[in-house]
Amino acid sequence: MRAVQVTRPGGPEVLETAELPDPEAGPGELLIDVAIAGVNYIDTYQRAGIYRMDTPYVPGMEGVGRVRAVGDGADEFAVGDRVAWSETLGSYAEGVAVPADKAVAVPDGVTDEHAVGALLQGMTAHFLVNDTYPVSADDTVLVHAAAGGVGLLLTQLAAAKGARVIGTVSTAEKEELARAAGAAEVIRYTEIDDLAAEVRKLTDGAGVDVVYDSVGATTFDAGLAGLRRRGMLVLFGASSGPVPPVDPQRLNAAGSLYLTRPKLFDYVAERPELVTKAAAVYQAVADGTLDVRIGGRYPLEQARTAHEDLQARRTTGKLLLTI
């Protein structure tokens, strides 16, 4: 089968297309013919060695496709079922073996592209606004990278709850996307000197209730400075680089703030949690609550280009590899 392989940590250039043996469905697994694989920032962290990986390996944690074979004990699914997954390495390939308990059924009303575009990033947005910090209509929310894959979905879900969303973006094009997703205010951080001061200005000095930060190093300090007393900074990514160690006394001095670093897999660790969250996200797509923007489609052989575009912030929405 064709697959993308990483033989050593490094930049996008280490993503190489190779011919590899077909995987097999072991006990409790599904062998799936991959139709589309999702591209996510975690793929770049793994590829670069920020998250240590044993090499060689096939990257990609997420995809959608049809079940080709069912291993012993994987009785929930049958050959021909359309399924999606978001926790199985090896998805940048024509075939992948996925543990059945990590797969979810895709409803007929959801396309393959939307099934991938809404799963990992949609479930991330869902747990951030419902579990990590339950957003309410009384809240003012700051979303960094509001035109990104998670950012657009997060903005839509928070706005649907009645919250006032302030988004940060880098360009006029991205501002339009953030506003279309429901952002009441948008800050182009490339055009201002003091992001925290701008946030304070938009909130009459009070600060926001919660900051959702997937950017990390370049936005972290401004996020803390833009929070209200007892506000929460939710750091769920580091596209600009990791945040240096934080002295907890800073949280005290800034107004008894909360800081958390959640990840999706801790919110879908049990099968019922995964099924419930995936169903909620797919229902939101089907009923129009979530508009999934596909920001780029690349053939499998252009995985390197997809990673380059993602890390250079040349994209908006979800990036896909078509198999």
Is the per-residue pLDDT at 27 higher than 90?
A: yes
Identity of the amino acid at 270: E
pLDDT at 149: 87
Could you tell me how far CA 282 lies from the centroid of its own chain?
15
Q: Which of 68-72, 187-191, 207-211 has the lowest mean pLDDT?
A: 187-191
Assign 206 to helix, strand or coil.
coil
pLDDT at 212: 98
> Which residue, 34, 33, 61, 36, is CA-closest to 47?
61
pTM score of the predicted model: 0.87
Report the b/e string of 99-133 with b at 16+ CB within 10 A: bbbbbbbbeeebbbbbbbbbbbbbbbbbbbbeebb
**pLDDT tens, 233-270?**
999 998 898 999 999 999 999 999 999 999 999 999 99
pLDDT at 313: 81
**pLDDT tens, 64-89?**
999 999 999 999 999 999 999 998 99
- The per-residue pLDDT of the chain, averaged, comes to 96
Domain locations along the chain: 2-118+268-322, 137-261
Is the per-residue pLDDT at 190 higher than 90?
A: no
Is the per-residue pLDDT at 317 higher than 90?
A: no
Cα–Cα dist 74/101, whole Å: 8
The Cβ of residue 204 has, within 10 Å, a number of other Cβ atoms equal to 7
Q: Provide CB contacts within 8 A for 1, sequence distance 6+.
A: 19, 20, 21, 22, 23, 93, 94, 95
The domain covering 137-261 belongs, at the CATH homologous superfamily level, to NAD(P)-binding Rossmann-like Domain (3.40.50.720)
Cα–Cα dist 285/161, whole Å: 16
Assign 230 to helix, strand or coil.
strand
The domain covering 2-118+268-322 belongs, at the CATH homologous superfamily level, to Medium-chain alcohol dehydrogenases, catalytic domain (3.90.180.10)
Residues of the chain by 3-state class (helix, strand, coil), percent to 5: 35, 25, 40
Cα–Cα dist 9/13, whole Å: 10
- Quickly list DSSP for 118-187: HHHHHHHHHHIIIIIS---TT-EEEETTTTBHHHHHHHHHHHHTT-EEEEEESSHHHHHHHHHTT-SEEE
